[in-house]
């Protein structure tokens, strides 16, 4: 037959496969697999052109090929008019592969048009897009109870922004039939007001039915415009109403977010009145205390500590602890940790800080015992503890996870592994990652399987897949470091390291955290490529380097992305006098945060300063990359890198010897 792919293209693809990095297979098996791949390319092209008859002639040749089920899905799409929804459902149920996004979108649209709500619930309940969640909610509304439907509708309704138009039929029905009542409308008005969504707020006020709630919405609007005047005048009366207390909280949050000192002072002014109003406003006080806590305000700890015990949770107690650390108040830190639940207090971070606080308050023996157990772990806090005790880091290979046992058995046991191999062979890493995500849900908790999968992916040089498999195993710290911390693109990295005077292991450490070495990754925030550059940042750096403005696609080029990303990190180092920690803060949260947080956090102890970083994402980012720096430096140099080079901590080694 005449091949739908030009001969030159087919032979280029097959030549590429011939030099793929997969572990060698017997010659006859390799020849057969390459023949199947060639036939797959032909079949895929035929289905794209909807040449179904020609595809059917090839179909028997591919029944044992790993990607066969994807062709079946394409066949359904090409001949959908021949199938009922139930027939398509039966076919999909037999196909244990993640459905391609185009097929899922087509399938969902078809089910919605035909009001096939039961199948929507069956196939899309685990989806995470807003449009799909709204379709599932409509399905539950049409097939289940109102109570079940509301569990889906409420989280879709209670957002501060407009939802996609696909949600309009759901909300229209819910409003018309009273599922979304005045209380839910009021809650959303609070959310949209906080985000200054004035048009949305005005629209929502028009939906209110009750005169009482309409009046409170009017008072909320007045408070939004002039919170101090409204609260001074009305706090006593408003505190007696459920809606009034929410308006008061809204006003106080607005004042405190704008100016922490002003918010604290104004709250103290209101508390000084001889009135019972503030006693009814414990939730308001908690919100103020949390905002002050996030800003590391001088009075945050005392406000948090004085809240009723019933208002405390993991979040508020950790906020107390970090505010104590920001001022290196060790007694307060111990108090906060002692109030945590046993499981929270036993996490490695709070075991480490408990040990530090015990030492600072005169309990060194107990502190050493605790630090010794922490130092056994290959972790940021394990490294800090080892530095203080003068112990080596736990970076041993242990011979535990360093080689692949049997590639063949893994391919036979799990068809998804073979499909991943084929997608990678066709240079379709997105499809391979989709398979891996599907497989992680299917085989969650199977540690031994994921250990071997990680080793197999490593032999394929599929770095992000290998690292994700290591995480899935729950034993990522047990892998030999050259496996858990690979070094792709090393030639480019070394070139840019020399050009910009940045250690190569720093560049790799940042790259591993930013992208897992996926060169074409794009974040939801708009960051692009290996070093996750924002287009505006990349543009500014390019100008400084006398380069033309790069497009988003330009930033996917490995060499350009590493060049601009390394140049940007160098500029941050120059701004911070070479301080790697502050530069990492700037890389993740923006340069202006460096100055802001240095002023906000008075801690002189570098580790305490890092622990006090207000953004959880940035705090964890810095810790993980510092660990990456240590591991990569060990791989690339003969020196025994220590985390104290970045975060100097008290060294107890000499004191301990003296005590002995």
Residues 6+ apart with CB under 8 A from 107: 88, 92, 99, 123
pLDDT, one tens digit per residue, over 609-620 is 999 999 999 999
pLDDT tens track for 219-228: 999 999 999 9
Rounded CA-CA distance 92/80 in Å is 13
Do 336 and 300 meet the contact criterion of CB atoms below 8 Å apart?
no
Q: State the Rg of the chain over Cα.
A: 30
% of the chain exceeding 70 in pLDDT: 92
In the predicted structure, residue 55 carries a pLDDT above the cut 90: yes
Q: Is the same domain home to 436 and 499?
A: no
Residue 307 has pLDDT above 80, yes or no: yes
* Confidence category of residue 402, pLDDT binned at 50, 70, 90: low
Residue 647, CB-side half-sphere exposure with 13 Å CA sphere: 26
- Mean pLDDT over 280-309 rounds to 97
Beta bridge partner(s), residue 522: 528
Last residue of a domain, one of 450, 479, 508: 479
With CA atoms as reference, report the closest residue to 350 among 379, 328, 321.
321
- pLDDT greater than 70 at residue 9: no
pLDDT average, residue stretch 514-543: 96
Measuring CA to CA, how many Å separate 394 from each of 479, 541, 637?
12, 39, 17
Q: Are residues 455 and 528 in the same domain?
A: no
Average pLDDT over residues 144-162: 94
Do residue 558 and residue 635 come from a single domain?
yes
Burial of 147: CB neighbours in 10 Å, binned 0-12, 13-18, 19+: exposed
3-state secondary structure string, 397-452?
CCCCECCCCCHHHHHHHCHHHHHHHHHHHCCCHHHHHHHHHHHHHHCCCCHHHHHH
When pLDDT is averaged across residues 319-338 and rounded to a whole number, the result is 98
626 and 573 both lie in a single domain: yes
The predicted pLDDT at position 554 comes to 97
Q: How far apart are CA 566 and CA 504, in angstroms?
A: 10
Question: What tokens were used for 144?
Answer: 């289940």
CA distances from 155 to 160, 187, 205 (A): 11, 11, 19
Does residue 7 have a pLDDT over 60? no
What is the pLDDT, as a whole number, of residue 406? 64
Q: Give pLDDT, residue 403.
A: 63
Residue 429 in any domain: the answer is yes
Element (H, E) at 494: helix 490-500
CB neighbour list of residue 526: distance below 8 Å, 6 or more residues apart: 534, 535
251: its two tokens: 């006003």
Which pLDDT does position 405 carry in this prediction?
64
Of 448 and 206, the structure prediction assigns the larger pLDDT to 206
Residue 469 lies in a domain: yes
Instruction: State the average pLDDT over residues 599-628.
Output: 97
- pLDDT band for position 538 (cuts 50, 70, 90): very high
14: confidence class by pLDDT, cuts 50, 70, 90: very low
Same domain (yes/no): 518, 636: yes
Res 145: pLDDT: 87
Mark whether 475 and 495 lie in a shared domain: no
Residues 422/66, Cβ–Cβ less than 8 Å: yes
Straight-line distance from the first to the last Cα atom of the chain, in angstroms, rounded to the nearest whole number: 85
Shared domain check, 499 and 619: yes
Contact predicate 608/326, CB 8 Å: yes
Domain boundary among 479, 512, 531: 479
Is residue 463 in some structural domain?
yes
The answer to whether residue 289 sits within a structural domain is no
Q: Is residue 604 assigned to a domain? A: yes
Task: Indicate the helix (H) or strand (E) that contains 132.
Answer: helix 130-143
Average pLDDT, the chain: 91
3-state secondary structure 440-465: HHHCCCCHHHHHHHHHHHHHCCCHHH
Where are the extended beta strands (E) located within 208-258? none
What CA–CA distance (Å, rounded) separates 320 from 294?
A: 10
Q: Would you place residue 49 in the very low, low, confident or very high pLDDT band (cuts 50, 70, 90)?
A: very high
Chain length of the chain: 660
Residue % of the chain over a pLDDT of 90? 84
Asked whether 449 and 411 are in contact (CB, 8 A), the reply is no
What is the CATH classification number for the domain harbouring 502? Answer: 1.10.530.10
pLDDT at residue number 482: 85
Position 385 in a domain: no
- Just list the catalytic residues: 514
Check: CB of residue 76 under 8 Å from CB of residue 100.
no
Structure confidence at residue 19 as a pLDDT band (50, 70, 90): very low
pLDDT in tens, 451-482: 999 999 999 999 999 999 999 999 888 888 88
DSSP letter assigned to residue 100:
P
Within a domain: residue 297? no
Give 1's pLDDT tier (boundaries 50, 70, 90). very low
Q: Do 590 and 563 belong together in one domain?
A: yes
Question: Is there a single domain that holds both residue 636 and residue 524?
Answer: yes
Mean pLDDT of 371-379: 94
H, E, C per residue of 180-210: CCHHHHHHHHHHHHHCCCHHHHHHHHCCCCC
Last residue of a domain, one of 441, 457, 479: 479
Residue 251 has pLDDT above 50, yes or no: yes
Task: Please write the tens of the pLDDT for every residue from 98-123.
Answer: 999 999 999 999 999 999 999 999 99
CB 634 within 8 A of CB 370: no
Give the max Cα distance, the chain.
94
Continuous segment of H or E residues that includes residue 79: none
Residues 607, 496 share a domain: yes
Domain carrying residue 458: 407-479
Model pLDDT, residue 494? 97
What torsion, rounded to 10 degrees, do the Cα atoms 20, 23, 27, 28 define?
Answer: -100
Q: Are 637 and 590 within one domain?
A: yes
pLDDT value for 422:
97
> Residue 511's closest CA among 491, 486, 536, 535?
486
Q: What is the CATH number of the domain that holds 456?
A: 1.10.1240
- DSSP string over 525-568: TS-BTTTTB-HHHHHHHHHHTT-PPPPTTGGGSHHHHHHHHHHH
Query: Is there a domain that residue 511 lies in?
Result: yes
Rounded Cα–Cα distance for residues 103 and 114 (Å): 16
Half-sphere exposure of 492 (CA within 13 A, CB side): 18
Structure tokens at 547: 């380069």
**Is the domain of 513 the same as that of 635?**
yes
Q: What region, left, alpha or beta, does residue 445 occupy, with left being phi > 0 and alpha being psi -120 to 50 degrees?
A: left
Q: For residue 81, what is the enclosing H or E element? A: none
Q: What is the mean pLDDT of residues 165-184?
A: 96
Checking if the pLDDT of 67 tops 90, the result is: yes
Total number of domains constituting the chain: 2
The pLDDT of residue 25: 55
Give the bridge partners for 562, in sequence order.
Answer: none
Residue 218: partners with Cβ closer than 8 Å, 6 or more residues away: none
Question: Would you state the pLDDT for residue 395?
Answer: 79
pLDDT at 656: 46
Structure confidence by residue, pLDDT tens digits, 567-588: 999 999 999 999 999 999 999 9
Is pLDDT above 70 for 441?
yes
């Amino acid at each position: 037959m005449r091949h739908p792919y030009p001969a030159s293209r087919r032979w280029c693809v097959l030549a590429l496969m011939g030099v793929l990095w997969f572990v060698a297979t017997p010659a006859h098996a390799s020849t057969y697999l390459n023949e199947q791949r060639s036939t797959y390319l032909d079949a895929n092209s035929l289905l794209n052109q909807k040449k179904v008859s020609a595809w059917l002639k090839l179909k028997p040749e591919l029944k044992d090929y790993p990607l066969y089920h994807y062709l079946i899905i394409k066949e359904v799409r090409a001949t959908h008019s021949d199938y009922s929804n139930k027939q398509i459902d039966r076919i999909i149920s037999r196909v244990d592969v993640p459905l391609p996004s185009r097929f899922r979108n087509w399938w969902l649209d078809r089910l919605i048009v035909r009001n096939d709500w039961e199948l929507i619930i069956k196939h899309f309940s685990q989806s995470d897009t807003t449009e799909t969640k709204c379709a599932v909610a409509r399905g539950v509304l049409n097939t289940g109870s109102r109570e079940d439907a509301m569990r889906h509708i409420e989280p879709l309704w209670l957002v501060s922004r407009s939802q996609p138009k696909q949600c309009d039929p759901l909300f229209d029905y819910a409003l018309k039939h009273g599922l979304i009542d005045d209380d839910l409308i009021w809650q959303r008005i609070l959310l949209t007001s906080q985000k200054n969504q004035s048009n949305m707020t005005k629209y929502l006020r028009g939906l209110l039915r009750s005169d009482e709630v309409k009046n409170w919405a009017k008072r909320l609007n007045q408070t939004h415009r002039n919170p101090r005047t409204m609260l001074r005048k009305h706090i006593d009366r408003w505190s007696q109403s459920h809606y009034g207390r929410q308006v008061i909280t809204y006003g106080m949050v607005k004042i405190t977010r704008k100016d922490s000192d002003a918010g604290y002072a104004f709250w103290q002014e209101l508390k000084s009145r001889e009135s019972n109003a503030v006693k009814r406003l414990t939730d308001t006080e908690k919100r103020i205390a949390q905002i002050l806590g996030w800003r590391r305000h001088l009075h945050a700890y005392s406000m948090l500590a004085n809240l009723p015990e019933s208002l405390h949770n993991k979040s508020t107690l950790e906020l107390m602890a970090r505010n104590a650390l920001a001022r290196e108040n060790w007694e307060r830190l111990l108090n906060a940790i002692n109030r945590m639940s046993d499981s929270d207090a036993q996490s490695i971070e709070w075991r480490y800080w408990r040990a530090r606080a015990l030492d600072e308050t005169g309990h060194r023996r107990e502190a050493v015992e605790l630090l010794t157990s922490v130092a056994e772990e290959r972790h940021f806090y394990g490294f800090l503890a080892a530095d203080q005790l003068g112990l080596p880091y736990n970076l041993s290979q242990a011979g535990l996870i360093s080689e692949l046992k049997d590639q063949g058995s893994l391919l036979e046991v799990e068809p998804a592994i073979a499909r991943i191999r084929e997608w990678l062979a066709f240079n379709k890493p997105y499809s391979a990652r989709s398979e891996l995500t599907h497989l992680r849900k299917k085989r969650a908790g199977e540690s031994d399987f994921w250990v071997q999968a990680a080793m197999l992916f490593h032999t394929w040089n599929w770095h992000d897949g290998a690292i994700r498999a290591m995480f899935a195993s729950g034993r990522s710290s047990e892998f030999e470091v050259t496996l858990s911390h690979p070094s792709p693109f090393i030639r480019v990295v070394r070139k840019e390291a020399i050009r910009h005077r940045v250690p190569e292991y720093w560049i790799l450490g940042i790259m591993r955290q930013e992208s897992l070495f996926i060169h074409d990754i794009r974040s939801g925030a708009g960051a692009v490529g290996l070093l996750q550059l924002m287009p505006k940042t990349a543009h500014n750096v390019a100008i400084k380097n006398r380069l033309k403005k790069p497009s988003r696609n330009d930033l996917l080029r490995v060499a350009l992305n590493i060049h601009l990303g390394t140049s940007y990190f160098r500029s941050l180092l120059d701004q911070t006098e070479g301080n790697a920690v502050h530069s990492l803060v700037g890389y993740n949260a923006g340069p202006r945060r460096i100055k802001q947080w240095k002023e906000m956090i008075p801690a002189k102890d570098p580790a305490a300063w890092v622990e006090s970083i207000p953004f959880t994402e940035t705090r964890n980012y810095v810790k993980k990359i510092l660990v990456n720096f240590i591991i990569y430096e060990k791989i690339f140099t003969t020196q025994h890198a220590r985390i104290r080079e970045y975060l100097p901590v008290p060294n107890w080694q000499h004191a301990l010897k003296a005590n002995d």
